[in-house]
Amino acid sequence: MSEIVKHLTTEQVIEVKRQMEIYRQGVQDIIPMEELEQKVAKSVLENRPLKIKLGLDPSAPDVHLGHTVVLKKMKQFQENGHMIQLLIGDFTGKIGDPTGKSVARKPLTDKEVKYNAKTYFEQFGKVVDMDKVELHYNSEWLSKLSFEEVIQLAGKITVARLMERDDFEERMALGKPISLHEFFYPLMQGYDSVVLDCDIELGGTDQHFNVLMGRHFQEKLGKEKQVAILMPLLEGLDGVEKMSKSKKNYIGIDESPQEMYGKAMSIPDELMNKYFDLITDFSPGQIETVKRELETGELHPRDAKMLLGKTIVRMYHGPAAAEKAEQHFVSVFQQGVIPEEIPEIEWQGEMEKTIIDLLVDLKLLNSKSEARRMIENRGVKVNGTKVEDTSSRITITNDLIIQVGKRKFLKIKI
Amino acid sequence: MSEIVKHLTTEQVIEVKRQMEIYRQGVQDIIPMEELEQKVAKSVLENRPLKIKLGLDPSAPDVHLGHTVVLKKMKQFQENGHMIQLLIGDFTGKIGDPTGKSVARKPLTDKEVKYNAKTYFEQFGKVVDMDKVELHYNSEWLSKLSFEEVIQLAGKITVARLMERDDFEERMALGKPISLHEFFYPLMQGYDSVVLDCDIELGGTDQHFNVLMGRHFQEKLGKEKQVAILMPLLEGLDGVEKMSKSKKNYIGIDESPQEMYGKAMSIPDELMNKYFDLITDFSPGQIETVKRELETGELHPRDAKMLLGKTIVRMYHGPAAAEKAEQHFVSVFQQGVIPEEIPEIEWQGEMEKTIIDLLVDLKLLNSKSEARRMIENRGVKVNGTKVEDTSSRITITNDLIIQVGKRKFLKIKI
């Protein structure tokens, strides 16, 4: 706190330390730590909220637990009176994919951008208080830049500095093309922070380079530099890749209680601690207890996972839904019985069918060959009894229950 | 000529060959040669002039013989009915020096740009017919580009392609900074050709990369590609560096006949052929004769140089001035006598002076120490007689002639 500390009362010093402890929790990196403390101290001294920026890619509005790692951090700042600036990179969205993964990523239309922003807004509301959030679209200022202004800005950064970005360096080394327009992505992200006068920018560790661009351009343009707070990336259900929609390894915060709970149960054991840390609303003390009990064996990993699943459902659907999802899981998966509520279908076909035709007719499986394989793998039950023969013929009766795999049920109504 | 040739009459084929022979003369490179021939053929067939672009840096308007290498080529196209597009890079002039030599080159004001363009115009008029020239300023279109359009354009070129430019590659390898805005210089030069629909762009070999950018962007934007015609660079009076104002090794086309002639005499012998080739209006046959006679010894290098000097003066000041400059040179430098016409000054000081005071009073030398040194070096004459003593006192008389060095004369009038 250096200089500022002299001006603080003891209570204010305690308040700064209290806030810092919260902000440090679960982060991967704060760059630089001293400046964050100075900013918090100044905010306490002057009773002025800090401006916390979070940039959002408007092309992928499905919010999953991976996003909530940063949202949780955002919420902590919000709860301490600071101002959240959500920045929809709508202008940025008009550039193709700078990661080089999908070179032909289509530019978004204005309509898509607005729709996606709305979707974010609704989903974020489940984690943070959206009434206390400033919403910005960077097209507001970026679309107004003239070529001359762009050149002035480009004159404030070197090619070598831009090439330091991991993926640029890698692609250059591999001889993979980098289009010149991709150099603008970090430049724009940095300029957004200049325009918004951000004190802090939040992001995943994969945003390290881009977030530091804000500091770079703020300094070059004579402003106070923002602090970078980088959160760890959450691996998805596969336990390997970063949780993302495209990898299909995610738990969406809009998913049904049963889906959420079921998916939570498939998280690898070794990621349990990280999930408790990063995506639950547990206090540091509660998290410590879970970790310790897992370590000593007091808590069985399966039970820890059930606690995690229940917690996630509670956070996004409330306690009653959490209770019910747990009961559902226990009855279906652990006790192997048929759940209370299962979807019904009115039968209008022949009253006798081969099991293969029946599975395809009911659209429980997509093809006869899939149906055959599922039966051979002992994954099909009729009224709770495994079907062992692929040539079995089934007589249709009222309330006949067909089960495919662990979680797909259908009740036939005549 | 491939396809087009089928449609040409014999006379037209001869015409194409005649023009091609002229255009090929003295060039370093034509990229690609076949396309130039096709364009000329098409122009002859359709009786449509080709558009020949020459880009000009608005920051250095002093035209010297180095520039005339390209101007001469321009004139050849003009004489064959084609259209010259002079492109003043006024927008480009607002960017600092992309060569990295003077990082802090000041951006030009609009007023400076207009003044410099006018200067070019006046001086170019000595070589080409300025009535048959289109004048363009690239700020006309570049200043109107939006950020989005810049990004679209930047998306049409890769970083690797830009890094191929010699000086970028070199500076990157040496760890010298390249500012991102410098990447726009070739991009803009290329885009200018798109806007102007250029058929051909002229430049020195040092413009190789930038001129090819025109082809690149024309192709990317679905236009017919321009042909690059690259002229050799003319070494200056030092015989080593490219002729340029900053190196002070140039002959300006605005200089006095005597200066021109005198400087021509200082061109190194080994560059004679190149100068005859590139900057005289001699026909290929005449040039061949000079080269052959120099080779066989029929022509003394000094006489060749005198021919060159006389030719240069004739080109920019007319035959009479050329004759006079030659006579002046012969009388002063070769015969060591006083020239006929020398500047006069009306004397208003004391009638006796030390030689040192006199030289400084007459502003022939800047300081007493300079005057002393010049006398000691036997470089001062009064009425044709060397002054040997630095303490000599001179009595002022009417028509007294003071000579300093080889070429500075002053006549005193009482």
Using a CB-CB cut-off of 8 Å, the residues of chain A touching B191 are none
- Rounded to an integer, what distance in angstroms lies between the CA atom of residue B371 and that of residue A73? 80
Q: Supply the pLDDT for residue B44.
A: 95
Q: Do A179 and B157 touch (CB under 8 A)?
A: yes
Q: Residue A326 in contact with residue A368, Cβ under 8 Å?
A: no
pLDDT digit string (tens) for A110-162? 888 888 888 888 888 888 888 889 999 999 999 999 998 898 899 899 999 99
pLDDT digit string (tens) for A79-114? 999 999 999 988 877 665 544 445 556 777 888 888
| CA nearest to A143 within chain B | B147
Mutation target vs A (from B151, B171, B182, B216; most A CBs, 10 A cutoff): B151
Mutation target vs B (from A151, A178, A182; most B CBs, 10 A cutoff): A151
ipTM above 0.85, yes or no: no
Using a CB-CB cut-off of 8 Å, the residues of chain B touching A149 are 147
Q: Do A146 and B147 touch (CB under 8 A)?
A: yes
Q: Is A222 left (phi over 0), alpha (psi -120 to 50) or beta?
A: left
Q: In angstroms, what separates the C-alpha of A211 from chain B's closest C-alpha?
A: 19
Direct distance between the N- and C-terminal alpha carbons of chain B, in angstroms, rounded to an integer: 74
Q: Do B180 and A162 touch (CB under 8 A)?
A: yes
Q: If you write DSSP's letter for every residue of A283-324 in order, what string do you get?
A: -HHHHHHHHHHHHHTSS-HHHHHHHHHHHHHHHHH-HHHHHH
Q: Supply the pLDDT for residue B95.
A: 62
| CA nearest to A163 within chain B | B159
How many angstroms separate the Cα of A191 from the Cα of each of A87, A217, A339?
12, 6, 55
Q: Is B290 left (phi over 0), alpha (psi -120 to 50) or beta?
A: alpha
Q: Supply the pLDDT for residue A226.
A: 97
Q: Residue A312 in contact with residue A251, Cβ under 8 Å?
A: yes
Q: Supply the pLDDT for residue A13.
A: 94
- Rounded to an integer, what distance in angstroms lies between the CA atom of residue A269 and that of residue B169? 50
**Could you check whether the bond before residue A284 is cis, i.e. omega within 30 degrees of 0?**
no
Q: Residue A231 in contact with residue A69, Cβ under 8 Å?
A: yes
Q: In angstroms, what separates the C-alpha of A11 from chain B's closest C-alpha?
A: 48
Tokens of A173: 């080394």
Q: Do A95 and B155 touch (CB under 8 A)?
A: yes
- Environment class of B198 (CB within 10 Å of its CB; exposed 0-12, middle 13-18, buried 19+): buried
- Name the residue among A228, A208, A226 with its Cα closest to residue A217: A226
Q: In angstroms, what separates the C-alpha of A206 from chain B's closest C-alpha?
A: 22
Strand A352-354 versus strand B29-31 pairing type: unpaired
At A317, the amino acid letter reads H
List A400's β-bridge partners, or say none: A412
| CA nearest to A141 within chain B | B147
At A261, the amino acid letter reads Y
Strand A83-88 versus strand B83-88 pairing type: unpaired
Q: Residue B83 in contact with residue B130, Cβ under 8 Å?
A: no
Q: In angstroms, what separates the C-alpha of A160 from chain B's closest C-alpha?
A: 7
Using a CB-CB cut-off of 8 Å, the residues of chain A touching B187 are 180
Say if residue A245 carries a ligand binding annotation.
yes
Q: Does domain B4-231 have CATH number 1.20.1070.10?
A: no
What are the strands of the beta sheet with A380-382, ordered from one edge? A344-346, A408-413, A400-404, A380-382, A385-386
Using a CB-CB cut-off of 8 Å, the residues of chain A touching B180 are 154-155, 157-159, 162, 183, 187
Mutation target vs B (from A180, A181, A184, A185; most B CBs, 10 A cutoff): A180
What are the strands of the beta sheet with A29-31, ordered from one edge? A29-31, A227-231, A200-204, A51-56, A83-88, A133-137
Q: Do A159 and B94 touch (CB under 8 A)?
A: no
At A119, the amino acid letter reads T
Q: Across chain A, which distance is largest between two alpha carbons, in Å?
A: 87
Q: In angstroms, what separates the C-alpha of B29 from chain A's closest C-alpha?
A: 28
pLDDT digit string (tens) for A340-375? 678 888 888 888 889 999 999 888 888 899 899 989
Q: Do A181 and B154 touch (CB under 8 A)?
A: yes
Per DSSP, B324 falls in state H
How many angstroms separate the Cα of A123 from the Cα of each of A61, A63, A111, A309, A310?
9, 7, 19, 19, 19
Of A143, A160, A180, the CB nearest to B162: A180
Q: In angstroms, what separates the C-alpha of B252 from chain A's closest C-alpha?
A: 33
| CA nearest to B187 within chain A | A180
**pLDDT (mean) for A374-397:** 85
Which pairs count as long-range contacts for B372-377, CB under 8 Å and 24+ apart, including other chains?
B374/B404, B374/B405
Q: In angstroms, what separates the C-alpha of B171 from chain A's closest C-alpha?
A: 10
Q: Residue A63 in contact with residue A123, Cβ under 8 Å?
A: yes
Using a CB-CB cut-off of 8 Å, the residues of chain A touching B182 are 159
User: At the topology level of CATH, where does B344-413 sit?
Assistant: 3.10.290
| CA nearest to A148 within chain B | B143
Q: Supply the pLDDT for residue A340.
A: 63
Q: Do A95 and B172 touch (CB under 8 A)?
A: no
Could you list the beta-strand ranges (E) of B49-116. 51-56, 83-88
Q: If you write DSSP's letter for every residue of B347-399 in order, what string do you get?
A: --S-SEEEHHHHHHHTTSSSSHHHHHHHHHTT-EEETTEE---TT-EEE--TT
Q: Do A181 and B143 touch (CB under 8 A)?
A: no
- Rounded to an integer, what distance in angstroms lies between the CA atom of residue B247 and that of residue B243? 7
- Rounded to an integer, what distance in angstroms lies between the CA atom of residue B157 and that of residue B189? 13
Q: Do B159 and A178 touch (CB under 8 A)?
A: yes
| CA nearest to B145 within chain A | A147
Stretches where chain B sits below pLDDT 70 are 1-2, 60-61, 94-105, 333-340
CA dihedral defined by B320, B324, B325, B329, rounded to 10 degrees? 160
How many angstroms separate the Cα of B55 from the Cα of each of A166, A338, A355, B198, B254?
38, 81, 79, 11, 21
Q: Do A184 and B94 touch (CB under 8 A)?
A: no
Numbered residues of chain B with Cβ closer than 8 Å to any chain A Cβ: 91, 94-96, 142-152, 154-160, 162-163, 168, 172, 175, 177-184, 187
CA A149 centroid distance within chain: 35
Q: Supply the pLDDT for residue A216.
A: 95
| CA nearest to B156 within chain A | A179
At B65, the amino acid letter reads L
Of A146, A157, A175, the CB nearest to B143: A146
Strand B344-346 versus strand B227-231 pairing type: unpaired
Q: Is B165 helix (H, G, I), strand (E, B) or coil?
A: coil
Tokens of A290: 């879970």
Write the CB contacts of A96 (distance below 8 Å, at least 6 apart in sequence): A102, A103, A104, A105, A107, A179, A181, A182, B155
Q: Residue B245 in contact with residue B62, Cβ under 8 Å?
A: yes
Q: Do A146 and B148 touch (CB under 8 A)?
A: no
Q: Do A94 and B148 touch (CB under 8 A)?
A: yes
Of B147, B158, B187, the CB nearest to A145: B147
| CA nearest to B158 within chain A | A179
Q: Residue B137 in contact with residue B123, Cβ under 8 Å?
A: no
- Angle of helix B272-279 relative to helix B284-296, nearest 10 degrees, comes to 170
* Four-residue CA torsion sign, A171, A172, A176, A182: positive
Q: Supply the pLDDT for residue A101.
A: 45
Extract the annotated binding site of B for ATP.
245
How do the domains of chain B map onto residue ranges?
4-231, 257-334, 344-413
- Rounded to an integer, what distance in angstroms lies between the CA atom of residue B162 and that of residue B70? 25
Q: Do A150 and B150 touch (CB under 8 A)?
A: yes
| CA nearest to B143 within chain A | A147
Q: Do B158 and A143 touch (CB under 8 A)?
A: no
Of A151, A178, A183, the CB nearest to B160: A178
Q: In angstroms, what separates the C-alpha of A215 from chain B's closest C-alpha?
A: 17
Phi, psi for residue B185 in degrees, rounded to 5: -60, -55
HSE, CB side, 13 Å, CA atoms: give it for residue B23. 30
* Four-residue CA torsion sign, A125, A126, A132, A136: negative
Q: Where are the alpha helices (DSSP H) in A252-401?
A: 257-264, 272-279, 284-296, 301-317, 319-329, 355-361, 368-376
Q: In angstroms, what separates the C-alpha of B139 from chain A's closest C-alpha?
A: 10
Q: What is the pLDDT of chain A when averaged over all its residues?
A: 88
The CATH code that applies to domain B257-334 is 1.10.240.10
Using a CB-CB cut-off of 8 Å, the residues of chain B touching A156 are 179
Q: Do A143 and B148 touch (CB under 8 A)?
A: yes
Phi, psi for residue B26 in degrees, rounded to 5: 75, 0
Of A158, A175, A184, the CB nearest to B179: A158
- Name the residue among B68, B93, B116, B257 with its Cα closest to residue B184: B93
Using a CB-CB cut-off of 8 Å, the residues of chain B touching A148 are 91, 94, 143
Using a CB-CB cut-off of 8 Å, the residues of chain A touching B155 are 95-96, 179-181
Q: Is B29 helix (H, G, I), strand (E, B) or coil?
A: strand
Phi, psi for residue A65 in degrees, rounded to 5: -60, -25
